[in-house]
Structure 1
Amino acid sequence: MATSTPTAGGDRQYILALDAGGTMTDAILVQPDGSFTVGKSISRRDDEPLSYRESTRDAAAQIGLEIDDIHRLCAVDIYCGTGMLNTILTGDGRRVGLLVTRGFEDITIMEGGLSYLGQTQAEALHQQLHRHPPPLIDPKNVHGISERIGGGCYQGNVHLPPGHVLIPVHEGQVRSAVHALIDAKVEVIGILFLYSFVDPVHEHRAKLICHEVLAERGVDIPVVCSADVAPVAKENNRLKSLLFQCYAAEQVRDSLLAVEKEAQGFGFKGRLLTLLSYGGVVNIAYPRLYETLISGPIGGLIGAQFIADRLDLNNVVTADMGGTSFDVGLIIDKRMGITKSADIAGHRLALPMVELDSVGSGAGSVVTVDEYKRLHVGPESAGAKVGVCFQYDRLTVTDINVALGYVDPDYFLGGRLQLDRDKALAALEETVAKPLGLDVYAAGAGVLDIVNSEMNDLLRTMIASKGYDTRDFTLLYYGGAGPVHMHGFAAGIDFADVITLPWAAGFSAFGAACAEYMHRYDRGSRLLIPNGISDTDLNEVAAQIRAAWAELEREAREEMRTEGVDPARLKFRYGV
């Protein structure tokens, strides 16, 4: 379901979009005539409003306006990035408590056996090498509750129908569990009951009891139901979505609210928007905020789709190299590919997401040589500290680009930051050249060849694994380091064309400015369509599907109305 981005009338006709990356925060300011300027600032995870302010001020200054003027004239303000993913990776999310159907208390440990996610093929083939990701919840804070709603049966109507209450929810156990979680000082409570996607009545009843106990104890913490976050089948995926919402999303919402407060302090009259992982923008009050998990990289795909349409390119492969990662995506017949479940940081979520392949190597990736004289690039990154040439204490890919003359040390961030080429050259010699017995420039060129070859292989694999021919694709490079490395990434691959853009360093923010205002609603159903089904029974199945769509439409209209969108402007797209 989508609509064009809601804008205010009158003089407020500017669009502001920002992408807070690991190294830089980029701003795109779109003027009423469609022209735009780009602003940049160093990213500060501990002070995002400051990076927002500096980047926006830089974009405004290029057209002779002050930051206050821009915000008074701004109809839409979009802010995206990887803050939620960083929260998952660094493990500094909220302390979560969980209520589950009794007998499933170990579900957070078992994780559906998906201990191979994110591993290479060689690692995945060997069970001994499988690793569970760092836990998002302490198992001691998982409490079982006696309850059960039936999920139906593949044998048809010979058993009880889906949604039939087999065991009522044990309210006393819920109360005891909430008291225990309060004593354990949890910061958010999640509820996951089996088959709640068929009927959420038990989860919602448990949520009501939680609020009663919290009120009695004078505690104010969020309570989140899986049926409200991801009402679909496969309880492990639903659990992960719930945990991401509890562990990271509510914490990131506070960061977004701080940025929104900064914008409103300069005169912005609306609500801050952010980007969904499957394309489209939403208000930061969006209840399923975990769906914005990797909003930054998605902006590049949306921008690539816009460019493909403008240049009449049917097939595009995108290469986004920033400071911390390298992301590859495909545009096929001018459309982005969507995967039904997302694998992120070793977790599989019930979350549709734009298809992206990534490696943890970017311009800020650390370069080392081990005791066996083997060269390693990444995954550790200097982030906003750039490298030895700026504020980091170890050699990075950017240091090598500076040392070899590919990056101008006097014009980094438009000349606002001065990089030290002599330090970069000395670090390259000490870290790589001397251990390997090479000339310093030959060592630097060798490292860049390895980086470029790794990215080159990812491009080939992404296209070949899906059965496509590279000659049918145009390669589009962007990201802060994309154009610097594009000569090496494309070497030896026969593309129809290879292109980049003058605003490549702010391209993900540009894509965010092109996005639709969109919500996605899912609902799991248990329907049986056997061979030889009669027309009468088939019509009954169709009626149930139509009823589910009607309920989702009602939910969408109500939610959009609360966000200030005229329901008459909505357009709905359906899928099964």
Structure 2
Amino acid sequence: MGPIVGSPPIVGNPIVIGIDAGGTMTDTILVDQDGHFKIGKSATTPRNEAEGFLSSAEDAADAWGISLEALFSGVNVVLYSGTGMLNTLLSRTGRKLGLITTKGLEDMILMGRGLQAWADYSYADRLHAVTHHHPDPLVPRRRTHGVTERIDQFGDIVLPLYEHEVFAAAKKLIADKVEAICIMTIFSHVNPAHEKRIAEICRGEITAAGADILVYTSHEVRPVIREQSRLNSVLIEAYATSRGRKQLKGIEDVSKKYGFKYGVQTLLSFGGLTSINHPRLHETMISGPIGGILGAAYVGKLIGNDSLICSDMGGTSFDMGVITRGQTRIENEPLMDRFKLNVPTLHLDTIGAGAGMILKVDPLTKKVSLGPESAGSDPGPICFDRGGTEPTIADCDAILGRLNPHYFLGGKVVLQVEKARQAFEKKCARVLGVGVEEAAEGMIDMLEADANNALRRVISGQGIHPSEFTLLSYGGSGPLHLAGCSRGIGFKDIITFQFAAAFSAFGCTTADFMRRHSVSTQHDIPSRADEVTLAGFGAKVTRVWNDLTRAAVDEMIADGHAREKIKTVPFLMMRYTGQLEDVEVMAPLAEVNSAEDMRKVLDEFEAVYAKVNHRVSRYGEAGFTITELGLIATADKVKPVLLKRPLGSSNPASAHKGVREAYIAGHWHKANLYEMDLLQPGHEVIGPAIIEHPATTLVVHPQDRVFVDEWTLLHYSHA
């Protein structure tokens, strides 16, 4: 790819490689000691992610002007966020599992949570119960065994463990040739004694049988309340992480083949880096889109804007995140393929809306369907000429002249526009009885309307007016459809980037090394608690934090981080008593040693609550409930930087590269073409125009404007 004008001139060699493997494209960013960076891009290869990883890294190395050997032998960090585990779950190609649980809970995995029956359904299907179906369980009923035991919510043993039932269950599962045994007993997050004993018996039987079977316990994977999502978490850890580890090991092997000396890192769902040997690898399953939120927070601090809507449009999906007054939202029970998990995750809202969406028209009803299937990178859109036969949004963009057929991926892929046009006319335009251009733009309008409505829903859910938010648009298709996605909402500002296609990879490299440990608790603090009561709660909180600190720091040290470079921050999940949703609060103190300290914690909760929701919704009279205590340990690393330069002339003539016919807003226009990397601070582009980059394209509608600021960020203004 070409140079990134927003980054400083290249001086040294890269020391960090960040890779984001999406559903369609794999993006790379290289960062040197001073924060200089360049990007690369290649098609994702789901069957062997190492191929796409290497190809994308090579593209970035070419942009830097070094070989792969020189690149990998000189870097200290290789960070990879991919889709191996998620693909395993979606395709149901994971391990063969067995389950041992508390007697009476054997059918819990089949029943699931109510929302699992309709989660991710279309609006129409949600309305009708006849369409509701639970996802197929990861463990069939015949390999699920209940054993007699009971621990209550206080951790007291009500019924002892009937060990003879455990021996029988273990023998049966070994005979069934399972590849892993999962163990989840009720209230094991309070007292794991029975889970530990069941695991001990299972391992003994496995050894005696000479079998090779792994054992997973829920208290080790995720020791928190809510047994349904805790069960799903341990099952997915056992089911999907083997393929994910294999993919990540393949990335590491390829890196070391070219001279890399260390271990590959991956991105945690809550925004930190960890080794691919992390014992709870399911915490990295939702990693790629998380990078975009991290990058948005990083850019927001840079430009002094702390209320942001993050929007990432690629080939498959449209992911949205919210940063409200500097606060990102942590979701403790995200949905993963319609399974509720107990995994802290930066909150994302996702709809199926991307440039790879397959278009269909019903010949009888003339109903147009966008997706949910995506052409992905293999075979890809028809214009890629890789065997794709179904029209996509990308084909529409090519037909309308919005994509340069000779500049896609810098010219590495020549788009076959006429082939796409013929197929689209036959399968869509002719069926609808309209012209090709009208039909193609109509399809794009539908996609952008879906994204526009999704953004409105996300904002309305915050209870804050859109004029308080700045929209950040990125992803390979983000700038291409920015105008339609953002029109009419009334954002304070709309920003995209010269490196929009690799923005999630950029965000990944802004993360620090991290460990996050937490445990469930139930502390109800009255609104008028006296000094003694508050001090007592503080002592309990501090004891838990100290235990979690030791565990997190030990893991960081085991990963090779020096103790003096490890920072720790305790946190709490809190709510007003009686509420159903928690708010994550970073503790203002490392220890709570007095009633005054405890009041500072409560005050911090109220301040955070007012940012995430609204100050008028605070209700301290209800009292406070602490549902979870946790500790985050971090170690710093080099991050990319953006160069701030003075504004110059508004005339973008130095970036002008010609004129092309483009169909925009119902008409063919002679659109001015600009090279995105040549735009300088101060330049202003007035539509109709197309601003091109090897990895993305920004379409500027008639009379709309794009202004380049001192950070070389692109600000889009509607007429």
Residue of structure 2 equivalent to 1:351: 343
SS at match of 2:519: coil
- How far apart, in 1, do the equivalents of 2:535 and 2:212 lie? 47
Partner of 2:50: 49
SS of match in other structure, 1:521: strand
**Residue 226, structure 1, aligned to residue 213, structure 2:** no
Q: How does 1:479-494 map to 2 (within 5 A)?
A: 479-494=475-490
Of 360, 364, 367, which residue of structure 1 is paired with 2:359? 367
Find out whether 1:389 has 2:391 as its counterpart. Answer: no
Deviation (angstroms), 1:19: 0.4
User: Which residue number in structure 2 is paired with residue 287 of structure 1?
Assistant: 279
Q: Distance in 2 between matches of 1:47 and 1:121?
A: 35
Aligned position for 1:379 = 372
- Equivalent position amino acid for 2:459 in 1: I
Residues 245 and 288 in structure 1, CA contact (< 8 A), matched pair in contact too: yes
1:79 corresponds to which letter in structure 2? Answer: Y
Map of 2:507 onto structure 1: 511
Partner Cα distance (2:539, 2:311) in 1: 45
Contact kept in structure 2, 1:322 and 1:480, CA below 8 Å: yes
Task: Say if 1:197 and 1:275 are closer, same or farther in 2 by CA, change over 3 A.
Answer: same
Residue 62 of structure 1: SS of its match in structure 2? helix
5 Å-filtered alignment, 1:100-499, equals: 100-114=101-115, 115-119=117-121, 123-124=125-126, 126-151=128-153, 162-370=154-362, 371-384=364-377, 385-390=379-384, 391=386, 392-499=388-495
1:81–1:297 contact (8 Å) kept in structure 2: no
The Cα offsets for residues 218-253 of structure 1, whole Å up to 9 and x where unpaired, read as 222221110011101110111111111111123211
Paired residues of 1:12 and 1:72 also in contact (CA < 8 A): no
Q: Distance in 2 between matches of 1:232 and 1:347?
A: 17
Alpha carbons 1:305, 1:335 under 8 Å: kept: no
How far residue 490 of structure 1 moved from its aligned partner, in angstroms, is 1.4
Alpha-carbon shift at residue 74 of structure 1 (Å):
0.6
> For residues 427 and 14 of structure 2, what CA distance do their matches in structure 1 show?
52
Give yes or no for contact 2:30–2:60 (8 Å, CA) kept in 1.
Answer: yes
Letter in 2 for 1:386: G
Taking a change above 3 Å as real, the CA distance of residues 12 and 420 of structure 1, as seen in their structure-2 partners, is closer
Mapped to 2, the partners of 1:218 and 1:410 lie a distance apart of 60
The one-letter amino acid paired with 1:342 is: P
Q: Distance in 1 between matches of 2:414 and 2:535?
A: 70
Give the number of equivalent residue pairs. Answer: 556
- After TM superposition, list the pairs within 5 Å mapping 1:68-87 onto structure 2: 68-87=69-88
3-state SS of 1:362 partner: coil
- C-alpha distance in 2 between matches for 1:101 and 1:535: 41
Unpaired segments of 5 or more residues in structure 1?
Answer: 1-10, 152-161
Alignment of 1:484-563 (within 5 A): 484-527=480-523, 539-563=535-559
Q: CA deviation at 1:537?
A: 6.1
Post-superposition shift, 1:382? 0.8
The answer on whether the counterparts of 1:326 and 1:359 sit within 8 Å (CA) in structure 2 is: yes
AA in 2 matched with 1:31: D
Q: Distance in 2 between matches of 1:465 and 1:537?
A: 36
User: Contact conserved, 2:42 with 2:56, CA < 8 A, in 1?
Assistant: yes
Higher strand share: 2
- Cα 1:347–1:446 shift into 2, 3 Å: same
| Residue 438 of structure 1: how far off its partner (Å) | 0.5
Indicate how the Cα distance of structure 1 residues 331 and 529 shifts in structure 2: closer, same or farther if over 3 A, else same.
closer
Distance 1:221 1:193 in 2: 20
Q: Work out whether residues 266 and 274 of structure 2, in 8 Å CA contact, stay in contact via their aligned partners in 1.
A: yes
Which amino acid in the other structure matches residue 192 of structure 2? P
Structure 1 residue 81: Cα displacement: 2.4
The amino acid of 2:102's aligned partner reads T
Cα deviation, residue 387, structure 1: 1.0
Between the aligned partners of 1:542 and 1:147, the Cα distance in structure 2 is 33
CA-CA distance at 1:82 after TM superposition:
2.7
Deviation at 1:393, TM superposition (A): 1.9
**What is the CA deviation profile of residues 546-574 of structure 1, one whole-angstrom value per residue up to 9, with x for unaligned ones?**
22211111111211111111223222222
The CA distance in 1 between the partners of 2:367 and 2:484, in whole Å, is 21
Matches of 2:285 and 2:196, distance apart in 1: 25
Mean alpha-carbon deviation: is it higher for 112-121 or for 252-261? 112-121
Q: Partner letter of residue 79 of structure 2?
A: I
SS at match of 1:520: strand
Q: Is the contact made by 2:297 and 2:306 (CA closer than 8 Å) also made in structure 1?
A: no
Q: 1: CA distance between counterparts of 2:498 and 2:538?
A: 51
The structural deviation recorded for 1:135 is: 2.0
Gap runs ≥5 in structure 2: 1-11, 573-719
Provide the C-alpha distance between the structure 1 equivalents of 2:99 and 2:19, rounded to a whole number of angstroms: 35
Say which SS state the counterpart of residue 449 (structure 1) adopts: helix
Cα RMSD after superposing both structures:
1.9
The question of whether the paired residues in 1 share the 8 Å contact of 2:84 and 2:243 is answered with: no
CA separation of 1:570 and 1:347: change in aligned 2, threshold 3 A: same
On the 8 A contact 1:198/1:526 being kept in 2, the answer is no
Corresponding residue SS for 1:575 = strand
Checking the alignment, whether the CA contact within 8 Å between 1:207 and 1:225 is kept in structure 2 is yes
- 1:159 paired residue number: none
Q: Do the aligned residues in 2 keep the contact of 1:96 with 1:187 (CA within 8 Å)? A: yes
Q: Deviations over 1:169-197 (max 9, x none)?
A: 22222222222222222222111001100
Q: Secondary structure, in 3 states, of the residue corresponding to 1:467?
A: coil
CA distance in 2, matches of 1:281, 1:193: 31
Q: How far did 1:125 drift? A: 5.0
Matched residues in 2 for 1:12 and 1:62: separation? Answer: 12
In structure 2, distance between residues paired with 1:319 and 1:288: 28
Q: Which residue of 2 aligns with 1:6?
A: none
Say if 1:16 and 1:29, in contact at 8 Å, map to a contact too: yes
**Which secondary structure does the structure 1 equivalent of 2:266 belong to?**
strand
Asked if the contact 2:515–2:555 (Cα under 8 Å) also holds between the matched residues in 1, the reply is no
- What amino acid does structure 1 have at the position aligned with 2:405? P
1: CA distance between counterparts of 2:399 and 2:244? 37
Moved more, 518-527 or 348-357: 518-527
Deviations 1:459-508 (A, max 9, x none): 11111221111112211111011111111111222112212111111111
Query: In terms of mean alpha carbon deviation, does 326-335 or 449-458 score higher?
Result: 326-335
In 2, Cα distance between the equivalents of 1:14 and 1:259?
17
- 100-109 or 460-469, larger mean C-alpha shift: 460-469
Per the TM alignment, residue 395 of structure 1 is displaced from its structure 2 partner at its CA by 1.0
Check the 8 A contact 1:197/1:525 in 2, yes or no: no
Q: CA deviation at 1:575?
A: 2.4
Higher gyration radius (CA): 2
**Residue identity in the other structure for 1:489:** C
Q: Call closer, same or farther: CA 1:334–1:531 in 2, change over 3 Å.
A: closer
Q: Deviations over 1:442-468 (max 9, x none)?
A: 111111111111111111111122111
Give the CA deviation at 1:541.
4.2
